[in-house]
């Protein structure tokens, strides 16, 4: 079956991440399309903007832009209207409405959301913290962490740690293995900062089998054995009960969904804003 081609132009005076995410979310609803993305980002000259618009016209592309300069917005919107092109101006409606309601003029600074402010440096610090205290490397970090994630192998501890770090949270994690000693620092922590991750045995079995295949090994090993997995999960649950920590079953949850639950459980939703 021949797929229908759709061209989408992302035009921005910054990195174009906002427009890209919207476009990706939209096209993910279709299976039989051949999508071609063209990114014209960090537009600072009128000439480069017009060149992008002319190329988009040649391809009858859909245009999504996040321009903040009044001049560039007018050029893009007028060009698309005059040439019958679809144009989505993502920023202007909300920016203009806020100005109307508050009588405050916007700064109109390109890429303002990505400016190197204190929040940015806090995020870098949190990312470095997550890497330093990943996989139980140094339990001393637990006492300085905002969150400590516990879980058996393949419960998404590391990707979740990094995702939460991107929200300016200092996160450490510890893999749980039966018979392994538990760091004393864990018992010294406020249990409200500890998150126990678990999963359904069958799902974990499939994940670990695929992991073995990726390494070119037999999928049927002690690591992926269902009885062994059940033993590990029971051990983890027993520890969670002793700690009195929050427990989240990550089965069928994306990293984003799990992170949202973590932030909700710990009343940290203020960190889950635009970053």
152 is annotated as contributing to ligand binding: yes
DSSP annotation string for the chain: -PPEEEEEEEEESS--HHHHHHHHHHHTT-SSEEEEEEEE-S--SHHHHHHHHHHHHHTT-EEEEE---HHHHHHHHHHHHHTT--EEESSHHHHHHHHHHH-------TTGGG---HHHHHHHHHHHHHHHTGGGS-GGGGGG-SEEEEESTTSSHHHHHHHHHTTT--EEEEE--TTPPPPHHHHHS-GGGEEEEE--HHHHHHHHHHHHHHTTS-S-STTT-HHHHHHHHHHHHHHHHHHT-EEEE-TT--HHHHHHHHHHHTT-GGGSS--
Is residue 70 annotated as involved in ligand binding?
Answer: no
Q: Is 148 annotated as a binding residue?
A: no
Is 198 annotated for ligand binding? no
154 is in an annotated binding site: yes
The answer to whether 156 is a known ligand-binding residue is: yes
Q: Is 270 annotated as a binding residue?
A: no
157 is in an annotated binding site: yes
Binding residues for ADP: 151-158
Binding residues: 151-158
């Amino acid at each position: 079956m021949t797929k229908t081609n759709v061209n989408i132009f992302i035009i921005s005076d910054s990195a174009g991440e906002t427009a890209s995410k919207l476009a990706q979310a939209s096209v993910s609803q279709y299976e039989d399309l051949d999508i071609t993305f063209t990114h014209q980002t960090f537009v600072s000259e009128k000439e480069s903007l017009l060149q992008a618009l002319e190329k988009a016209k040649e391809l009858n592309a859909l245009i999504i832009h996040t321009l903040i300069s009044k001049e560039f917005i007018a050029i893009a919107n007028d060009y698309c209207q005059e040439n019958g092109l679809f144009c989505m101006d993502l920023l202007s409606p909300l920016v203009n409405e806020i100005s109307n309601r508050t009588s405050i003029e916007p700064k109109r600074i390109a890429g303002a959301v990505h400016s190197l402010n204190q929040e940015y440096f806090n995020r870098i610090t949190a990312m470095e913290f997550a890497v330093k205290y990943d996989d139980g490397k140094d339990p001393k970090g637990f006492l300085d962490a905002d969150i400590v994630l516990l879980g058996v192998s393949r419960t998404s501890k590391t990707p979740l740690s990094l995702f939460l770090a991107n929200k300016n949270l200092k996160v450490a994690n510890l893999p749980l293995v039966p018979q392994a000693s538990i760091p004393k620092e864990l018992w010294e922590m406020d249990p409200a900062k500890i998150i126990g991750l678990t999963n359904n045995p069958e799902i974990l079995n499939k994940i670990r089998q695929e992991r073995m295949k990726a390494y070119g090994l037999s999928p049927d090993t002690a690591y992926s054995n269902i009885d062994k997995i059940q033993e590990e999960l029971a051990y983890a649950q027993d520890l969670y009960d002793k700690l009195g920590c929050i427990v989240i079953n990550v089965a069928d949850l994306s990293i984003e969904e799990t992170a949202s639950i973590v932030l909700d459980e710990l009343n940290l939703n203020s960190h889950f804003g635009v970053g």
